[in-house]
């Protein structure tokens, strides 16, 4: 399939999605959302694919929502179309999506990275919610996801001042899972995604769903949700295979059933 604003490549069982609006530092316009939703729907539908990596360029993962596209819009246009609500569909992707972030991840770019299941950062990565400088605010979940990821103090400072966090600070604060030398970012992200794609597919979905539930529910309900999904995995053929393979000291051979 042809996309206007992204490039999509399959590397084995990993779908590598690259934002491709270099002249605008990968600013997120309406077409980017359309393309991303189509690529992620294709990922979910393709049994040969187990995990995606979403990345940008060396200079920018994405420098935000497209300011030029938004600048003329008024309240009625924004509210009337529930602008940016389409991104809610993106987080419903059932297979894991890893953000591989080099350079700027600002505003909607930072929010897009945080919608992914985890973030691997190049040592060049810079995260920020600079919307305050435009007299607006995060609008794709940043005030909520950043606060849950790094706590109130850092999130509040970043939203109120527009200060950027470098990769080291982002790792210490828990925003990213690891920092990787920029030249190795894509290879490492694809390698990590391949590990995930090599796991039993139903168990991957269950693990993703239960970790994400920690952001939606209280502890008791979250632990209960986890336990029920865990019980459910004992209804899969892959659970029998996985445990037999352990005992027989061999790799599991998954059927996705
Ligand atoms: C549209 C953008 C853009 C953006 C950069 N560009 N960011 N276009 N929307 N968010 C364009 C520039 O206009 C410029 O186009 C080209 O990309 C290169 O950018 P420069 O500014 O010349 O590059 P540089 O000097 O290296 O500075 C990089 C930068 C800066 C620090 C990342 O571009 C910047 O501050 N961008 C805006 C960051 C931001 O405010 N993001 C939040 C957006 S609001 P031309 O045509 O001049 O070459 C947002 C709202 C979220 O995200 C809420 C709902 C989603």
Per the prediction, the chain carries an average pLDDT of 97
Please count the other Cβ atoms lying within 10 Å of the Cβ belonging to residue 92.
10
Backbone angles phi, psi at 99, to 5 degrees: -90, 125
ipTM: 0.97
State whether the beta carbon of 140 lies less than 6 angstroms from ligand 1: yes
Dihedral sign from CA coordinates of 216, 222, 228, 231: positive
Would you state the pLDDT for residue 157? 98
| 216 flagged as catalytic | no
- pLDDT band of residue 1 (cuts 50, 70, 90) is confident
| pLDDT at residue 180, as a whole number | 98
Q: Does residue 170 have an active-site annotation? A: no
| Minimal-distance CA residue to ligand 1 atom 14 | 24
Instruction: Judge whether 209 counts as a catalytic residue.
Output: no
Give the mean model confidence (pLDDT) for residues 83-108.
96
In whole angstroms, give the CA distance from residue 20 to residue 122: 18
Q: Outline which parts of the chain fall under CATH 1.10.12.10.
A: 200-248
Mutate to test the pocket of ligand 1, among 21, 30, 64, 162 (most ligand atoms within 8 A of CB): 64
CA triplet 70, 73, 79: central angle to 5 degrees? 105
CATH 3.90.226.10 domain position(s) in the chain:
6-197
What's the pLDDT score for residue 37?
A: 98
What is the 103 CA–ligand 1 centroid distance (Å)?
Answer: 12
Ligand 1 pocket member 242 (CB < 6 A): no
Residue 108 catalytic? Answer: yes
- 8 Å CB contact between 84 and 115: no
| pLDDT above 90: percentage of residues in the chain | 98
pLDDT digits (tens, 9 = 90+) for 198-251: 999 999 999 999 999 999 899 999 999 999 999 999 999 999 999 999 999 999
**What pLDDT score was predicted for residue 254?**
97
Q: What is the pTM of this model?
A: 0.96
200-248 in CATH: which number? 1.10.12.10
Stretch 95-113: mean pLDDT: 98
Tell me, which fold does domain 6-197 have in CATH?
Answer: 2-enoyl-CoA Hydratase; Chain A, domain 1 (3.90.226)
Q: Residue range 13-39: average pLDDT?
A: 98
Q: Among 10-24, 79-93, 213-227, which range has the highest average pLDDT?
A: 10-24
* pLDDT band per the 50, 70, 90 thresholds, residue 171: very high
133 Cα nearest atom in ligand 1:
40
pLDDT per residue over 36-74, tens digit each? Answer: 999 999 999 999 999 999 999 999 999 999 999 999 999
């Amino acid at each position: 399939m042809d996309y206007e604003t992204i490039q999509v490549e399959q590397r084995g069982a990993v779908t590598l999605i690259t934002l491709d609006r270099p002249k605008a530092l990968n600013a997120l316009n309406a077409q980017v959302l359309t393309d991303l939703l189509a690529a992620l729907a294709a990922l979910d539908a393709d049994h040969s694919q187990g995990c995606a990596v979403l990345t940008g360029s060396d200079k920018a993962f994405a420098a935000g929502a497209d300011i030029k596209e938004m600048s003329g819009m008024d309240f009625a246009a924004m509210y009337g179309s529930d602008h940016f609500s389409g991104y809610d569909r993106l987080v419903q992707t059932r297979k894991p999506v890893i953000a591989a972030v080099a350079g700027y991840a600002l505003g909607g770019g930072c929010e897009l990275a945080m919608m992914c299941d985890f973030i691997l950062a190049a040592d060049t990565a810079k995260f920020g919610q600079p919307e305050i400088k435009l007299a607006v605010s995060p609008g794709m979940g940043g005030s909520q996801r950043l606060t849950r990821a790094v706590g109130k103090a850092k999130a509040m400072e970043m939203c109120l001042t527009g200060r950027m966090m470098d990769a080291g600070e982002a790792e210490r604060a828990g925003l990213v899972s690891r920092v990787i030398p920029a030249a190795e970012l894509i290879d490492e992200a694809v390698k990590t995604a391949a590990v995930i794609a090599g796991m039993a597919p139903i168990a991957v979905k269950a693990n993703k769903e239960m970790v994400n539930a920690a952001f939606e529910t209280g502890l008791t309900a979250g632990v209960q949700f986890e336990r029920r999904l865990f019980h459910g995995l004992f209804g899969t053929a892959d659970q029998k295979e996985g445990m037999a393979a352990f005992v027989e000291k061999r790799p599991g051979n998954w059927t996705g059933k």
